[in-house]
């Protein structure tokens, strides 16, 4: 990015405004790609823990914290600096969820049920539709609730997951 800024400055100083605008477009695209990469990373972590929750039918403090933190970070990264628009709108999550779910299955297979399942076996036994629905439900909360309210809303939503009642009660 440093080279792009040098090129931008050079273009402006030389009066080559079309070149400068092209560089600005490139910088904007690079920034968006970086933000989407960060969102995808948190989405991966979210999906891994939703898979573990579904397969093991329990919810641990660690998993709940990871899911909650992922949703909070996704909300933060997804909001554009003006706070009135998003990099991903509510109806644009399908492609990212579907592509990330396959990577999440591989990662979760190394963590779920004492590492006894291969990614192939794990892919056979999970209910992908349910995991996608749960992830979308959690992601939609980021559009509906403020940054201040989101942690409590997510925590209450997590209590509805398998094992959530026992987790809520501290059992």
Tell me the percentage of the chain whose pLDDT exceeds 90.
Answer: 71
pLDDT, residue 170, reads 87
- Model confidence at 3, pLDDT cuts 50, 70, 90, reads confident
Q: What is the pLDDT of residues 116-130, one digit of tens each?
A: 889 999 999 999 999
pLDDT, residue 1, reads 61
pLDDT, residue 121, reads 94
Distance from C-alpha of 58 to C-alpha of 161, rounded to nearest angstrom:
8
Distance from C-alpha of 131 to C-alpha of 53, rounded to nearest angstrom:
10
Res. 157: pLDDT tops 70? yes
Specify the higher pLDDT residue, 26 or 33: 33
Map out the domains of the chain as residue ranges: 36-169
Q: What is the 3-state secondary structure (H, E, C) of 134-169?
A: HHHHHHHHHHHCCCCCHHHHHHHHHCCCCCHHHHHH
Res. 8: pLDDT tops 90? no
pLDDT, residue 27, reads 65
- Model confidence at 86, pLDDT cuts 50, 70, 90, reads very high
pLDDT, residue 28, reads 75
pLDDT, residue 6, reads 72
**In whole numbers, what is the pLDDT of the chain averaged over residues?**
90
Q: Could you tell me which residues come within 8 angstroms of residue 152 by beta carbon, excluding any fewer than 6 positions away?
A: none
CB 73 within 8 A of CB 130: no
Res. 25: pLDDT tops 70? no
Specify the higher pLDDT residue, 108 or 25: 108
- Model confidence at 31, pLDDT cuts 50, 70, 90, reads confident
Res. 135: pLDDT tops 80? yes
- Give how far Cα 91 sits from Cα of 81, 101, 137, 148, Å: 20, 17, 12, 24
pLDDT, residue 44, reads 98
């Amino acid at each position: 990015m440093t080279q792009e800024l040098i090129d931008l400055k050079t273009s402006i100083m030389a009066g080559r405004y079309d070149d400068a605008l092209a560089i600005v477009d490139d910088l904007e695209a690079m920034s968006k790609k970086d933000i989407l990469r960060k969102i995808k990373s948190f989405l991966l972590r979210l999906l891994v823990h939703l898979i573990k929750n579904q397969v093991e039918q329990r919810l641990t403090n660690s998993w709940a914290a990871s899911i909650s933190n992922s949703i909070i970070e996704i909300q933060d990264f997804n909001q554009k600096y003006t706070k009135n628009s998003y990099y991903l709108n509510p109806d644009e999550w399908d492609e990212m969820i579907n592509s990330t779910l396959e990577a999440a299955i591989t990662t979760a297979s190394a963590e779920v049920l004492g590492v006894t399942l291969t990614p192939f076996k794990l892919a056979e036994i999970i209910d992908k539709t349910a995991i996608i629905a749960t992830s979308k439900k959690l992601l939609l909360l980021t559009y509906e609730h403020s940054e201040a309210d989101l942690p409590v809303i997510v925590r209450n939503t997590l209590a509805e997951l398998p094992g959530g009642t026992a987790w809520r009660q501290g059992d």
